[in-house]
Amino acid sequence: MEKYAISSDGQKIHYKESGNGSTTLIFIHGWLGNTEWWTDQQKYFSSQYHIVQIDLAGHGKSSVTRKEWTSAKYAEDIKAVADAIDSNEIILIGHSMSGAYVLEASLKIPKVKAIILIDTLKNLDESYTEEQAEEALSQYGKDFKYTVENILPQFLFAEGTPLAVKERVQHEFLQHEPELAINALWPLYRTDFNKFAKQIQVPVIAVNSDASPTDIEANRKYLKDYDYVTIEGVGHYPMLEKPTEFNAILDEVIKKLIQ
């Protein structure tokens, strides 16, 4: 069922609700994504769990009129949906940039029992200066289409990424106005998420691609209870690239967290 919650700044946050179970899995997409990125997971897990898929502000069917783009606002988007649903046990599942936002959101949602990160926050010691962030984002402003089609692929896709997934992701990226796309990404570079990580008391498990390494020791300096598993032969979108294998891995992770 498709619904809307109202975020702290009045943005309408679209979400889809399905399935049954005492545990709620809230899936949050990465940059320029949408609820449909989790379709295979919704089909697989809805017989076991209460499933919620969110469109953050600026994405999918949610409002695009946000004036102030911050990590706190994204966290409030997630909280608004968590407050609107009926659940006593929530697992937040954040992909890419939303891995950072679920850390912050979890501190505002008492019913969160665990966090699952999808190919994100592989080394919490890594950081960007304002200048480095501006340089990276300036590419999108110069020629958004060219950057999406010719520069981003080397960072987002692996040799084994299916062509259909590459084309889908690029097509969906290009449905966004460049200015909105840049504004939507800025909070990821402007926020110190380690301060939130240090406050988290619930278990955090990541499902990461082997396309780049995960520094478990760096992450355990900030997250008290952190671990990760690897899915091989995929790029940045394991839930789209190898959904069957990803679902099996995620299933095991969830069972470990709620046992």
**Domain spans of the chain, in order of start:** 2-127+193-258
Give burial (CB, 10 Å; 0-12/13-18/19+) of 130: exposed
Residue 128 in this model has a pLDDT that exceeds 90: no
Q: pLDDT digits over 96-106, tens only? A: 999 999 999 99
Contact at 8 Å (CB) between 193 and 71?
Answer: yes
Residue 164 in this model has a pLDDT that exceeds 90: yes
Which CATH code, of 3.40.50.300, 3.40.50.150, 3.40.50.1820, 3.40.50.720, is assigned to 2-127+193-258? 3.40.50.1820
Residue 134 in this model has a pLDDT that exceeds 90: no
Of 86, 119, 71, 73, residue with least CA distance to 19: 86
**CA 241 from centroid of its chain's CA atoms:** 16
Residue 109 in this model has a pLDDT that exceeds 90: yes
Contact at 8 Å (CB) between 235 and 158?
Answer: yes
- What is the pLDDT, as a whole number, of residue 125? 96
Residue 111 in this model has a pLDDT that exceeds 90: yes
**Burial track 184-214 (b if 16+ CB lie within 10 A, e otherwise):** bbebbbebebbebbeebebbbbbbbbebeeb
β-bridge mates for residue 98, sequence order: none
Average pLDDT over residues 60-83: 98
- What is the pLDDT, as a whole number, of residue 76? 98
Q: Coil, strand, or helix at residue 225?
A: coil
- What is the pLDDT, as a whole number, of residue 94? 98
- What is the pLDDT, as a whole number, of residue 133? 82
14, 150, 157, 162, 170 from 167: Cα distances, Å: 25, 12, 11, 9, 5
Average pLDDT over residues 2-8: 97
pLDDT category at 127 given cuts 50, 70, 90 is confident
pLDDT category at 130 given cuts 50, 70, 90 is confident
Give the integer Cα–Cα distance in Å for 172 and 105.
Answer: 26
Give the integer Cα–Cα distance in Å for 172 and 33.
Answer: 7
Q: pLDDT digits over 12-54, tens only? A: 999 999 999 999 999 999 999 999 999 999 999 999 999 999 9
Average pLDDT over residues 198-224: 98
Give burial (CB, 10 Å; 0-12/13-18/19+) of 22: exposed
Averaged confidence pLDDT in the chain: 96
Average pLDDT over residues 192-216: 97
53, 72, 101 from 121: Cα distances, Å: 21, 17, 11
Give the integer Cα–Cα distance in Å for 116 and 25.
Answer: 10
- What is the pLDDT, as a whole number, of residue 108? 97
Q: Coil, strand, or helix at residue 184?
A: helix
The structure's pTM equals 0.97
59 secondary structure, DSSP code? S
- What is the pLDDT, as a whole number, of residue 129? 84
Residue 139 in this model has a pLDDT that exceeds 90: no
Residue 178 in this model has a pLDDT that exceeds 90: yes
Q: pLDDT digits over 30-41, tens only? A: 999 999 999 999
Tokens representing residue 60 in the block: 């999918």
Give the integer Cα–Cα distance in Å for 119 and 237.
Answer: 8
- What is the pLDDT, as a whole number, of residue 132? 83
Amino acid at 137: L
